[in-house]
A and B are shown apart, each in its own frame.
Chain A
Amino acid sequence: MIKIVFFAALREQLDCAELSLNAEDMETVGDVKQRLSDKNSQWQQMFSKSSLLSAVNHDMVDDSHLVKSGDEVAFFPPVTGG
């Protein structure tokens, strides 16, 4: 399984903080986004945003990054701390 977590505005818009997906048929972060987009049109819209950031096991990555069972994949909007 792959643990997926969402933060900030994205978490509120999806009304979901975390979920788990079977790692089967998913090789990259891009595949994870595609699987999440399949849920419905709202999710599709959220995961097609070019500004959306992704992290795997607490490191920022791009869509081509490989994922495997046991990974924690995070999606969130551009950061605004400080």
Chain B
Amino acid sequence: MSNANKYACQEISIQAEDFSLADEVALLEKDNLTDGAVVTFTGRVRNNNNGHSVTSLTLEHYPGMTEKSLAKIIKQAKEQWQIGRVKVIHRIGELFIGEQIVFVGVTSKHRQDAYAANEFIMDYLKVKAPFWKKERITDSGETSENWLDAKDSDTDKADLWS
């Protein structure tokens, strides 16, 4: 197997464990002498949503379909932009304030394609990949759990690419 193929096998990871931004960047750069640009995005759990105090998020996914959906998004990105390596990591299970949820890393010869492809992958992941967030919120000492509603703004943002 060539190095490129070896890398491609690891483009998508759905995992409960945390990831290291430094390690992921090192992997995107390892033996990659053709790409001058590396663009990364990391999404984290914030402590507030719609005026509520959030204590944790629980991420559910659809095993099999999630990977297939992300592979399709990455393929679309590669058709649209001149990009080198791609890595998408999405965590599942219960995640607390400040914890990392999602990582998208893209390399390319020059920055424009890596920036655009990274944003495209994230925008499409938000509206097409089967993940669901349930938030645990605490208001005036009362704890409750709610499944988040999809946001029209996310759909509108993704639609801008088509």
Chain B residues within 8 Å of chain A by Cβ, number: 27
Residues of B within 8 A of A77 (CB): 132, 147, 150
Q: Which of B62, B64, B122, B133 contacts A80 (CB 8 A)?
A: B133
Question: Is the CB–CB distance between A59 and B68 below 8 Å?
Answer: yes
Q: How long is the Cα–Cα vector from A80 to B127 in the complex, in angstroms?
A: 7
Instruction: Using known A-B contacts A8-B147, A78-B150, determine if residue A60 contacts B128 with beta carbons closer than 8 Å.
Output: yes
Question: Is the CB–CB distance between B147 and A82 below 8 Å?
Answer: no
Residues of A within 8 A of B54 (CB): none
Q: How long is the Cα–Cα vector from A28 to B65 in the complex, in angstroms?
A: 20
Question: Is the CB–CB distance between A81 and B68 below 8 Å?
Answer: no
Q: How long is the Cα–Cα vector from A81 to B89 in the complex, in angstroms?
A: 12
Chain A residues within 8 Å of chain B by Cβ, number: 18
A49 contacts partner chain B, Cβ-Cβ < 8 Å: no
Q: Of all chain A residues, which has the CB nearest B65? A: A58
A79 contacts partner chain B, Cβ-Cβ < 8 Å: yes
Secondary structure dominating the interface of B: mixed
0 or 1 for each of A51-62: is its CB under 8 Å from B? (1 = yes): 100010011100
Pick the most buried of A5, A12, A79: most chain B CB atoms within 10 A of its CB. A79
Question: Is the CB–CB distance between B65 and A80 below 8 Å?
Answer: no
Question: Is the CB–CB distance between B133 and A81 below 8 Å?
Answer: yes
Q: Of all chain A residues, which has the CB nearest B150? A: A78
Question: Is the CB–CB distance between B68 and A9 below 8 Å?
Answer: no
Q: Which of A9, A51, A60, A74 contacts B132 (CB 8 A)?
A: A9
Question: In angstroms, how far is the closest chain A Cβ from the Cβ of B106?
Answer: 15
Residues of A within 8 A of B61 (CB): 81
B31 contacts partner chain A, Cβ-Cβ < 8 Å: no
Question: Is the CB–CB distance between A81 and B131 below 8 Å?
Answer: yes
Residues of A within 8 A of B127 (CB): 78-79
Closest 9 CB pairs of A and B: A81-B131, A78-B150, A8-B132, A58-B65, A9-B147, A82-B126, A80-B148, A80-B133, A58-B68
**A residues at B contact (CB < 8 Å):** 5, 7-9, 12, 51, 55, 58-60, 74, 76-82
